[in-house]
A = this chain, B = another copy of it.
Amino acid sequence: MKKKRVTLKDIAAELKVSISTVSRALKDHPDIDKTLTKKIKALAQKWNYIPNPLAMGLLRQQTQVIGVIVPDLVTYFFSSIISGIEDELQQAGYYIIISSSKESMEKEIECVHNLLNLRIDGLIVCLAQDSNDTAHFEKVLDHDVPLVFFDRVCLEKKVSTVVVDNVSMAKDITTHLFENGARKIAHITGPKHLNIVKERTEGYLKGLEQVGLLLDKKHLIHTDLSPNNAAKAIRGLLSLPSRPDAILGVNDTVIFATMKEIKNRNLKIPKDILLAGFSDEFHATVVEPNLTSVAHPTHDIGRNAAKLILEQIQEGRSIQKKIILNTELHVRESSTRH
């Protein structure tokens, strides 16, 4: 037996008043008789009345649902950001629907359309790695749906973003490697169109310059972010006549692949090769040796993205803000020689 949810109609019928009276009473409309209000509220309570969000949504043309699109669900970086988004949005009475683009633009486009068709009230996105077109996001803006990017961003002129200072992060980490004795510092990174790749590469180059090292072009490798291709890139690096004595990875996928390859060759970290990355905080202290990495404030990234969305919903108009969050370089065994 489907236990039908109780509606205003049910309450009105029981109390022999009109639906609108019930509706008003439940929102403490001053016009309604206090005693009646009490009676109505009591019954609503007793019958466990909950307004039907579908009806409300239809009326107000809003769903209380925020879409979130991430490249994947299973890495700590993204799941902890989602956790932050959730914490912030749920106390504002919003729900989130999470979709995974699986690092594919095609899938990302599909996700955007699905969510738009669902009539979400806002959209929070981290770009897929091969997302090099913005038409689908323009469409989001066309529909006047609040949009926020985090980490991997685009359309920065029009859309609010939550990011970290990739350039200085990469620069600091590069000079740190130099200070620990590295003279041939390689950088394995991702597709060139991604802002995080561009910025981290820029920081890496600035770091080299600052410590007076020249770039060996063979030491700057653009690959994609998949473990297989990262591994291939690393094998290439390790076979070079000018084998690097330090590797800076663009993210954790790259770093873990790197560690495995280095161990396979019986090279030691940090003795033979220093290792550092932009990583997700969690694994870093579990692997051996512990990994030096830039800790992103993942939970805060999520919270801030959520706040920006809420702000836009309240303001009722698209705003453009850029929030830059602080990171911390966590120096651990993988990059220190004493």
Contact = CB atoms under 8 A, between A and B. Distances in A.
Contact of A79 (B3, B5, B53, B79): B79
Interface stretch (A32-40, A150-158, A159-167, A281-289): A281-289
A61 B52 CA distance: 10
Interface stretch (A92-100, A176-184, A237-245, A323-331): A92-100
A214 interface: no
A100 B86 contact: yes
Given A3-B144, A76-B74, A288-B288, A118 B53 contact: yes
In the complex, the count of this chain's copies comes to 2
A166 to B, nearest CB: 23
Given A58-B52, A74-B76, A79-B73, A286 B256 contact: yes
Contacts of A80: 73-74
A143 interface: yes
A196 to B, nearest CB: 21
Main SS of the interface on chain A?
Answer: mixed
A142 B83 contact: no
A217 B124 CA distance: 51
Contacts of A73: 79-80, 82-83, 86
A261 to B, nearest CB: 13
A96 B98 contact: yes
A314 interface: no
Contacts of A143: 2-3, 5
Contacts of A63: 54
Contacts of A283: 283, 286
A50 B114 CA distance: 10
A17 B282 CA distance: 61
A291 to B, nearest CB: 10
Contacts of A41: none
Interface in A115-134: 117-119
Interface of A: 1-3, 5, 50, 52-55, 57-58, 61, 63, 65, 72-74, 76, 79-80, 82-83, 86, 90, 95-100, 114, 117-119, 142-144, 256, 259, 282-283, 286-288
